[in-house]
Amino acid sequence: MKALLDNLNGLFAEFAKDASLQVENGNKAAGTRARKSSLAIEKALKEFRKVSVEDSKK
């Protein structure tokens, strides 16, 4: 669970960096990276939810 949370924090940091580059500088490549990061975040959040539900049943 700790590793999953660390992974999510890293993904959020990457997303925030790339999204701000797109918004502030109009960097199209950063926008592409931000969208890719958002998909990875979505998958990681689904995994977190799955693990969290399993832990709460114990």
Please give the angle made by the CA atoms of 5, 39 and 4, to the nearest 5 degrees: 15
Parent domain of 8 = 2-56
Q: Which amino acid type is present at position 3?
A: A
Work out the pLDDT band at 58, boundaries 50, 70, 90.
confident
Three-class secondary structure of residue 27 per DSSP: coil
pTM for this model (two decimals) = 0.86
Return the residue matching tokens 């669970």.
1
Instruction: Write the CB contacts of 22 (distance below 8 Å, at least 6 apart in sequence).
Output: 28, 30, 31, 34
* 4 pLDDT higher than 90: yes
* 52 pLDDT higher than 90: yes
Q: What is the mean pLDDT of residues 14-39?
A: 96
Number of domains in the chain: 1
